[in-house]
Amino acid sequence: MTRAGTRGEALLAALFAAVLLAVVIQGFAQPRTSFFGAVGLDFRAFYCSGEAVAHGRSPYLVEPLRSCEHRVQWSNDWSRDLVIPSPLPAYDLALLAALSRLPYDAAKAVWFCGLLACIVLATGFLARLTKLPTLFVLLCVLGGGGVLCLLYGQLPPVVVAALAGGAYFAQRGKMTAAAIALGASMIEPHVGLAACLAAFLLLPACRLALATTLAVLAVAGVATVGVPTSIVYFTQVLPAQAAAELVATDQYSLSHVLHVLGFPDRAALLGGSACYLVMLVVGVLLARRVSASTGSVAFVPLIPAALAIFGGSYIHEEQFLAAIPAALALAALSRAARPLAWVALGLLGFSWLSFADGRHASDLSIIGLSLGVAAWIGVLAAPERRRVVTALAAACVFVVAVFAVRALPGPRTVASDAAFPRSVSVASASASANWAAYLRAAPTLSVPSPRSELGKAPSWLALILLAVVCWRAPRGAVGDGVPIGRKIDDGASFPRFV
């Protein structure tokens, strides 16, 4: 690659990066006209569940969760009977109980900074692991759900930092550090379990440290809420939350798809659970094959975590962030691996459902994010002589695709105050049952529309493409055994652009 070519590509990449970052800054500067005005709405439930535990109360019932949420941060157009559930495992609540001792605004600031630090940490690990440009990796993480997680205070940035750190340390033979990092991914159990299971089965050197880490988490959880509440979480809270979310139009789970297709609720939930178990097995098998074919153990935790979010019974858009590390790692392999992996990365690097919804983002945000992510992927993925043309073409395709999704018929409007049955409004009722009643009374949130369902297709397609790339790896179609981090593209390394 010539110095002039590198300089030109760097300028083009920097231009699109500037557009994307300007959109983010604009959103923070004008919270009332963008989705950034919702900062911390999910953290509100986390904080209040921690406060309940700190005072010896159940974090899974309507009270004291509802009273706390209404006190610390509430929207006037929401029902006075509504409570946002916090279906987190007990060891998560140990951290939240400590955080709840701070005033709410201070705790939210600490939480936000912690999530931002996780995004930066994940970016650093992934950039060093793949040798891809640091700023490019950061934009993929932000566009692929990182921004949404910062807005709502959601947990996936912690998971991604844990996965990236686990893969990075495992690649360098530091198995104890890898085990501790992967243990942190259990902050979201249905994602972290896949990575931990694969590491336990395929990386014997980290088994003891991983088992010890998970045991510490279990003990911390039981010490925080006690044995009875821990049992209630697995036997009642998780099933109730999965059942509540069956109708939610922002669900990416197979259970929701089966519900939309008319299956009975029980069959839909069983189908989602069965799919999750199947994807656990598939993820471990594909991780083993790709690891063997590439000589890189970094794939062991990354691939199962990515595939675990395909199907299942409880998957939101933000959790697709967990697939970004696997997509980046596969895209950084040799020439033969790159086409499908880069397409998958492009699809994952954009929050289609949220940004195609005019309620959550302005036209400027849609155009800026489309151009920023898609064009830079075009710069990096194409052969040197075609990079600028490919970048512009990719940007145009992204813009057309996003507006095509946005043009689909959307959901019906919802009344400002949904009706709640008395049985789910009392203090001793399940918070998940209360949430289920709210969703079913709100057509905007529970009645499927072409936009709400077809807008999920790009993310699902991305995971399918990643699985195809992994399946082809041992047959020689993905690379030639080049480990992650080695120069790629027949000897020409990527420009760093940083």
- Per-residue model confidence as pLDDT tens digits over 410-429: 666 555 445 677 788 888 88
The answer to whether 191 and 279 are in contact (CB under 8 A) is: no
The reported pLDDT for the residue numbered 34 is 39
- Average pLDDT of span 258-277: 92
d(CA 13, CA 6): 10
The reported pLDDT for the residue numbered 482 is 37
Q: Which residues contact 7 (CB under 8 A, 6 or more apart)?
A: none
Cross-strand partners of 430 = 61
- Average pLDDT of span 257-269: 92
Residue with tokens 């942190």, as numbered in its chain: 184
Query: How far, CA to CA in Å, does 372 sit from each of 142, 165, 273, 288, 394?
Result: 11, 26, 37, 34, 10
The reported pLDDT for the residue numbered 230 is 85
Longest dimension (CA), the chain: 71
SS3 251: strand
- Per-residue model confidence as pLDDT tens digits over 195-213: 999 999 999 999 999 999 9
- Average pLDDT of span 178-205: 93
- Per-residue model confidence as pLDDT tens digits over 143-174: 778 878 888 889 999 999 999 999 999 999 99
- Is pLDDT above 70 for 359? no
The reported pLDDT for the residue numbered 347 is 83
The reported pLDDT for the residue numbered 307 is 94
Residue 73: alpha-carbon gap to chain centroid: 24
Give residue limits of the domains in the chain. 12-409+443-475
Residue 204: alpha-carbon gap to chain centroid: 28
**% of the chain at pLDDT higher than 70:** 76
Long-range contacts: 261-269, Cβ < 8 Å, 24+? 269/239, 269/242, 269/243, 269/313
The reported pLDDT for the residue numbered 151 is 81
| Greater model confidence, 199 or 370 | 199
The reported pLDDT for the residue numbered 474 is 42
Round the average pLDDT of the chain to a whole number and report it: 79
The answer to whether 437 and 424 are in contact (CB under 8 A) is: yes
The reported pLDDT for the residue numbered 33 is 41
- Average pLDDT of span 97-117: 90
Give the burial class of 444: count Cβ atoms within 10 A of its Cβ; 0-12 exposed, 13-18 middle, 19 or more buried. middle
The reported pLDDT for the residue numbered 350 is 75
Give the burial class of 262: count Cβ atoms within 10 A of its Cβ; 0-12 exposed, 13-18 middle, 19 or more buried. exposed
Whether the bond between 64 and the residue before it is cis, its omega within 30 degrees of 0, is: yes
The reported pLDDT for the residue numbered 300 is 93
What are 345's two structure tokens? 């990365």
The answer to whether 149 and 110 are in contact (CB under 8 A) is: no
Confidence class of residue 263 from pLDDT cuts 50, 70 and 90? very high
- Average pLDDT of span 81-89: 89
